[in-house]
Amino acid sequence: METQIIELEKKYWQGMENHDYETVKKLTHFPCIIAGKTGLQSVDEATFKKMFESADGNKIKVLNIADVETQLLAGNTAITAYQIELEMADDKQKSLKCVCTSTWIKENNNWVCALHTETELSQ
């Protein structure tokens, strides 16, 4: 099960990298909770789509996912934490390292992410 959860997480990031809204939407529970350097928020599907589309110019590339820890808490709930290194393509190439956590729930026989956090690591 742990392998399946991290594969879903990788698929989610691949959708972000490819700017593939349909893939990301299918892997997201709505409303979802997001926490990061800009604060925390509960996001419904319409708001999520606006956020996703507004990030069109902010291309990311996943360089590495490491130090993965995953636990199945119940038959329908799993948590995962990992370190990710991203390359941000803007005016200058910039890479950043974050630690992330996600809570996945099984809904209608499909796993979806209900909570995601990102914390940028200090250099």
For the record, the structure tokens of 1 come out as 């099960």
59-74 and 28-36: which strand pairing? unpaired
**pTM, two decimal places:** 0.90
Q: Provide, rounded to the nearest whole percent, the portion of the chain with pLDDT above 90.
A: 76
Per-residue pLDDT reduced to its tens digit, 28-79? 999 999 999 889 999 999 999 998 988 755 688 899 999 999 999 988 999 9
Residue 75 identity: G
H helix and E strand count, the chain? 3, 6
CA angle 12, 17, 22 (to 5 degrees): 55
- pLDDT at residue number 59: 81
More confident residue, 89 or 104: 104
User: What would the mean pLDDT of 76-92 be, rounded to a whole number?
Assistant: 87
Six-digit token string for 123: 């250099």
End-to-end CA distance of the chain: 33
Name all domains of the chain by residue range, CATH numbers in brackets.
1-120 (3.10.450.50)
